[in-house]
């Protein structure tokens, strides 16, 4: 007596596997609180940089960096987007943390460059405005970068 599967059963099983895989791939993300915290810290540093003494800006920048370095290694991997599931390493690009950190370095350069342009233009509170603009970019660009990585995983193009 054989326990083989007919074509319809095999097709149904393959579709179920594909649905589950898509559900797992959908879990590739960086939690929203990370992006909001990063943007809030960016604006906070901008406000302090625009109005506070240099010593306070220095201490706040170091504290922000220390908190980020403590939180980021687990969060920016894309593997722990929710408490329900940890995505396997093979499914998420190993380059995602480097891409996120690279994105943040670029955003730092954009903040400085934009603030310098606003100073040259004679704008009031250039550091604050530059930090607000970049915080908005972080809130949109960061999740967009993770969505791009998730789309690549869905297409099976990851290394």
Q: Distance from CA of residue 60 to its chain's centroid? A: 22
What does the alpha-carbon distance between residue 43 and residue 41 come to, in Å, rounded to a whole number? 5
- Whether the per-residue pLDDT at 15 is higher than 80: the answer is no
Q: What digits encode the pLDDT tens for the residues 46-84? A: 999 999 999 999 999 999 999 999 988 888 776 655 566
What does the alpha-carbon distance between residue 135 and residue 37 come to, in Å, rounded to a whole number? 10
- Tell me the pTM: 0.73
What is the pLDDT at residue 158?
Answer: 43
Residue at token pair 């509170």: 125
What is the pLDDT at residue 12?
Answer: 77
What does the alpha-carbon distance between residue 108 and residue 41 come to, in Å, rounded to a whole number? 12
**Token couple for 70:** 């403590």
What does the alpha-carbon distance between residue 82 and residue 31 come to, in Å, rounded to a whole number? 7
Residue at token pair 């297409």: 155
């Amino acid at each position: 007596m054989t326990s083989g599967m007919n074509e319809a059963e095999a097709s149904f099983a393959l579709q179920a596997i594909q649905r589950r895989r898509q559900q797992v791939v959908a879990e590739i993300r960086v939690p929203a609180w990370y992006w909001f915290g990063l943007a809030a810290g960016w604006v906070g540093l901008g406000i302090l940089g625009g109005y506070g003494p240099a010593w306070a800006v220095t201490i706040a920048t170091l504290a922000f960096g220390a908190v980020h370095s403590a939180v980021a290694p687990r969060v920016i991997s894309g593997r722990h987007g929710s408490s329900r599931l940890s995505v396997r390493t093979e499914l998420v690009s190993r380059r995602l943390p480097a891409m996120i950190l690279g994105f943040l370095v670029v955003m730092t350069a954009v903040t400085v460059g934009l603030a310098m342009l606003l100073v040259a233009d004679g704008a009031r509170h250039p550091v604050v405005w530059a930090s607000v603009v970049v915080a908005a970019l972080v809130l949109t660009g960061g999740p967009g970068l993770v969505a791009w990585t998730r789309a690549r995983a869905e297409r099976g193009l990851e290394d």
